[in-house]
Amino acid sequence: MRRTVFPHKLLPWLLVAPQLAITLIFFYWPAAQAFRQSLLKEDAFGLKTSFVGLANFRKVLADPAYLNALQVTVIFSAMVAFLAMAIALFLAVQAEKVVRGKSFYRTLMIWPYAVAPAIAGMLWLFMFNPSFGTLAWPLRQMGIRWNPLLNADHAMMLVVAAATWKQISYNFLFFVAGLQAIPRSLLEAAAIDGASRRHAFWTIVFPLLAPTTFFLLVVNTVYALFDTFGIIHAVTGGGPGKATETLVYKVYNDGFVNLIMGDSAAQSVILMVIVIALTAFQFRFIERRVHYG
Amino acid sequence: MAEASPLAPRGAGRMVAHFWMILGVIVVAFPVYYVFIASTHSTQTILRPPLPLLPGPEAAANYRDAFTGGISKIGGVSLWRLLANTTIVAMGIALGKIAISMASAYAIVFFRFPLRMACFWLIFITLMLPVEVRIQPTYKVMVDLGLIDTYPGLILPLIASATATLLFRQFFMTIPDELLEAARVDGAGPWRFFRDILWPLSLTNVAAIFVIQFIYGWTQYLWPLLVTNSNEMNTIVIALKKMISFADADTPWNLVMVTSVLAILPPILVVVLMQRWFVKGLVETEK
Amino acid sequence: MAGITLTDVRKSYAGNQVIHGISTRIADGEFVVIVGPSGCGKSTLLRMVAGLEAITAGTIEIGGKVVNDLEPRARDIAMVFQNYALYPHMSVRENMAYGLKIARMSRSEIESRVARAAEMLELQPYLDRKPRALSGGQRQRVAMGRALVREPAALLLDEPLSNLDAKLRVQMRLQIKEMHLRTGQTTLYVTHDQVEAMTLADRLIVMNKGVAEQIATPLEVYERPASEFVAGFIGSPAMNILAVDSEAGTVTLPGGTRLPLSGLPRAGALHFGIRPEHLRLAQPGEAAIPVVLRSVERLGADAFGYGMVEDTDMAMVLRLPGTSPAARGDHIGVVPDMAHLHFFDPETGRRIEA
């Protein structure tokens, strides 16, 4: 709480006005509309709407296609979050061990952060394109019938690889920062206590990294849920079949391609609930550093 | 940090660490390198795997062709136009976010007014409403406001950001009370205090947020996909996606690769050249 | 330059009164020190004069003009903060010139004023440095300079020396005194340090719990403290206070010394005060207060004997010559100097004239 402030009364309102206006028009109003629509049903010609209560939700949650999307999302997110964090942690630990060239490695490591998800997907598709991908070629030479455009597992592997690749740089930077924040004296004490490097890592470093790990877990989950839309849209279009159709992709597909408004709105509301739950979860456990006031 | 951690191995162990780092860097940087290599070869070479690992002889020809109309033939819009659109959107989002979130953080930290905390929470809760969860109704608002296929349509819905506001608020709260008091005794009002004292002290934070938000703007996908119908308004990422999805035997892959490189290069340059602020912005915004 | 008049100034936070009506007139050119323990409201009072805190009731006038509702900048004051509050991104020169620039003073006038202040404060070699490249003492001088260049009606200082080490503090104290003599600037100075207060002030405002216990010259405060609080706060070591009884105008001290004091208004319990420097050792056979010494602190020129009045739980400190042979465990008799006796009402703590 500040002791001193400016005494003006009107000026602060003018200062928050732009952000408030944009927030209200582009955030609250649409969110409210999504809630409203999720309770309505449009007839086949889009002429009449009627209130149907929770029917849309019941329909969505009973829809095998939706449950499939849910399953795809869980598998996809878990794999991306785990791989992106594990690889980044491993590399961050290696980076801590080297003396020279740290900043050189870091510079090369952060590129993918700047690459748009959709382009990341296209790059991987290009490398693994069944007909002319340079990296698909050796697979085919080895007799693997590699085809991410037709094989559901291959498609999933490809989008997971692209999504993981893009997220490694972000996780790497956080793990490096987290490792550097661990007090040197603790590691020195462990070394004097005779702990082996491996033992010291699992008993001291890893537990002390827990806040970073936990934070990244939430961030990576949100990333896998939402930001990977571009990868899936650009690489597989949810296919083959519906093998890579995630929840967000399905909202988009039902709302803009298939034009089923009530369903799409109900799905939006479910997604909002998921985000709110994740955010609340995050605050409950790690955001104690944020001070309100 | 020049000094290694106390647990750092010596000799062979350190070599092993270098080995893993080099391997990691290769995996991480390879796709970007690969597309750059591809952009220097002819379509025939690209379509006949494996691709050479060194730049080819077609670099000059490919890039010249791409900039002088080759891209227009595939997407209907010149490469210049795509780059201009993307730059306008990315800059608009980055600068717009900085402007409006600084203004609102300034109001919330340095003034007392009715409903101040209500305003803070209204902004704060938007953290939980990413565009993906409210695509359809947001799209409808854009239609109603006539913002489809316009720059404001591409920019405005993305410039209200709780993250930037929170970061500025956090930073403003570290400014000692006495500094504001000294400025007030010296005769500075809200505008002068902001211009002469707060802004100069905020510069590193502004740079950090700029990098993050420029990349955020440049890499947008879902939103530009929705609010642009006309190819004229495409960002380079969307244009690239369209080129690939309509791919057929005649697709000039060499030009697609040039477009990819140009879609990747500006944000990578920003990240690498402004690395210090980027890392600070990332690690501090999110914590 | 001008005087400052406070009339029944009060301050409440959410209905909780922290300044309970303070009135005084500070003359043009006077150096007034507000002194008191931490939390007594002295900084709040200063900040109210500066315009950084709203005034709940009463009026504050600067130069004959009521300033209650004026912004700090409209009050014609300058202020030095405890942590200096220098603008970290501006050079020393820019720091000092900032207020003048806002006041749209001509460039040549700004330059000559900054040059003059820099000379007075010996800051010329540092004018182009940033605050972080300065030592604590130099920063303090820049903060002084920033206030002085304004040539304000009143100069306000909020514990300006408390972040300096002891040696530097003495040096700066002398410099501030000298500067005041040169500029004749009306000054209001807040401190918790009684030595600063006694040495700098033309007049003291001794505050306790939001009340001005006494407003007087340093000597008066020392000679005739208006309350037991002031008696204990000013003077080091603090004044001895003994609980005594008065009967028919005579006070009997422990050990049987009788003080015939016609002026004492009433019979009953009283608090008797005597400073350590106003006690001496008794001659053989003289009526005296019996004291057992528990320790003797030797400071060189002086020594202080700390003891208890025999058969009581009342502590007693006295000043002894540096060479005094007194030692722990000694039973001694002490005699008060009759010219320096103080009496206080045990209920209200106010002074009673004998």
Position B137 scores a pLDDT of: 82
- What pLDDT band is residue B249 in, cutting at 50, 70 and 90? low
| C140–chain B nearest CA distance, Å | 14
Q: Which tokens hold the place of C258?
A: 């009788």
Q: Is the pLDDT of residue A199 over 90?
A: no
Structural domain that includes position A178: 37-289
Contacts of B160 in chain A (CB under 8 A): 19, 22-23, 26-27
Q: Which of residues 141-160 of B touch A (CB under 8 A)?
A: 141, 156-157, 159-160
Number of domains in chain A: 1
C99 contact residues in B (CB cutoff 8 A): 185-187
Residue A285: the pLDDT is 64
At residue C344, the 3 state secondary structure works out as strand
Contacts of A118 in chain B (CB under 8 A): 219, 221, 237, 240-241
C133 versus A145: the higher-pLDDT residue is: C133
C73, C78, C83: residue with CB nearest B178: C83
Q: CB distance A22–B278 less than 8 Å?
A: no
Mean pLDDT by 10 residues, chain C (354 residues): 88 90 93 93 93 91 90 90 92 93 92 93 92 92 92 92 90 91 92 93 94 94 94 92 83 79 72 92 86 92 92 91 89 90 91 82
Considering the domain boundaries, does residue A110 fall inside one?
yes
* pLDDT, tens digit, 9 for 90 and up, residues A76-92: 999 999 999 999 999 99
Whether A293 has a pLDDT exceeding 60, the answer reads no
Mean pLDDT of A188-209: 80
Q: Is the predicted pLDDT of residue B286 greater than 60, yes or no? A: no
Name the minimum distance, in Å, from the CA of C7 to any CA of chain B: 23
In a domain, A26, yes or no: no
Closest partner residue to B178 (CB to CB) among C77, C85, C150 is C85
pLDDT band, residue A291 (cuts 50/70/90): very low
Residues of C whose CB is below 8 A from B179: 85, 87
Choose between B139 and C293: higher pLDDT: C293
Which residue in B101, B160, B283 is closest to A174 by CB distance?
B283
Question: How far from the centroid of its chain's Cα atoms is residue A114's Cα?
Answer: 15
Classify residue A241: in a domain, yes or no: yes
Q: What is the structure's pLDDT at A45?
A: 65
pLDDT bucket at A292, cuts 50 / 70 / 90: very low
pTM: 0.83
- Average pLDDT for residues B26-50, to the nearest whole number? 84
| Cβ contact A153:B263 at 8 Å | no
In a domain, A49, yes or no: yes
DSSP string, B86-101: HHHHHHHHHHHHHHHH
CA-to-CA distance for A136 and C323, rounded, in angstroms? 99
Partners of C332 in beta bridges: C291
Residue B273 above 90 pLDDT? Answer: no
Work out the mean pLDDT of chain B and round it to a whole number.
Answer: 84
Query: What pLDDT does B2 receive?
Result: 40
pLDDT confidence of residue B241: 85
This complex has an ipTM of: 0.84
pLDDT, tens digit, 9 for 90 and up, residues B257-271: 888 898 999 999 998
Contacts of B99-103 spanning 24+ positions with Cβ under 8 A: B99/A18, B100/A18, B100/A19, B100/A22, B100/B159, B100/B160, B101/A19, B101/B161, B101/B164, B101/B165, B101/B167, B101/B168, B101/B209, B102/B164, B102/B168, B102/B202, B102/B206, B103/A15, B103/A16, B103/A18, B103/A19
Q: Do B176 and C83 touch (CB under 8 A)?
A: yes
| A163 occurs within a structural domain | yes
Q: Which of B112, B179, B181, B186 to mutate to test the interface with C (most CBs of C within 10 A)?
A: B186
B126–A contact, CB cutoff 8 A: yes
pLDDT, greater one: B191 or B63: B191
> Which chains lie within 8 Å of chain B at 3 or more CB pairs, if any?
A, C
Within 8 A of B32 by CB-CB distance, chain A residues are 111-112, 115, 123
- CB of B10 within 8 Å of a chain A CB? The answer is no
Interface of C to B at Cβ within 8 Å reads 50-52, 71-73, 77-79, 81-89, 98-99, 102-103, 146, 150
Q: Is A7 among the domain residues?
A: no
Residue B122 contacts A where some CB pair is shorter than 8 Å:
yes
Once rounded to an integer, what is the mean pLDDT over residues A116-128? 88
The answer to the question of residue A176 being in a domain is yes
A15 close to B (CB below 8 A): yes
Q: In chain B, which among 52-71 make CB contacts under 8 A with chain A?
A: none
- Closest chain A residue to B36, measured at CA: A123
User: Chains with 3 or more CB pairs closer than 8 angstroms to A?
Assistant: B
First to last CA, chain B: 22
Average pLDDT (A216-239) is 86
pLDDT top residue among B173 and A285: B173
Residue A290 has what pLDDT?
36
Chain B residues in contact with A99 by the CB 8 A cut-off are 2-4, 8, 14
Residue of B nearest to A280 (CA): B128
Enumerate the residues of chain A whose CB falls inside 8 A of the CB of residue B135: 251-252, 255-256, 268
Any idea what the CATH number is for the domain that residue A75 is in?
1.10.3720.10
| Whether A89 contacts chain B with CB within 8 A | no
C73 contact residues in B (CB cutoff 8 A):
184-189
- Pure H helices in chain A: 11-23, 29-38, 55-62, 64-97, 102-109, 117-127, 136-141, 152-180, 184-192, 197-200, 206-208, 210-222, 229-235, 247-252, 261-285
For residue C115, what pLDDT is reported? 94
Residues of B in contact with C71 (CB under 8 A): 184
pLDDT at residue A286 in the model: 54
Cβ neighbours of A199 in B, within 8 Å: none
Contact (CB<8Å) B31/A179: no
> A43 CA to chain B: closest CA distance, Å?
18
Question: pLDDT, tens digit, for every residue of A38-51?
Answer: 887 776 666 677 78
Q: Which of A273-287, B21-35, B215-229 has the lowest mean pLDDT?
A: A273-287
pLDDT (tens digit per residue) in B89-106:
999 999 999 999 999 999
Q: What is the pLDDT of residue C210?
A: 92
Within a domain: A13: no
Tell me, what amino acid is at C287? A
The CA-CA-CA angle for residues A167, A90, A154, to 5°, reads 50
CA distance B202 to chain C (A): 11
For residue B287, what pLDDT band results from cuts at 50, 70 and 90?
very low
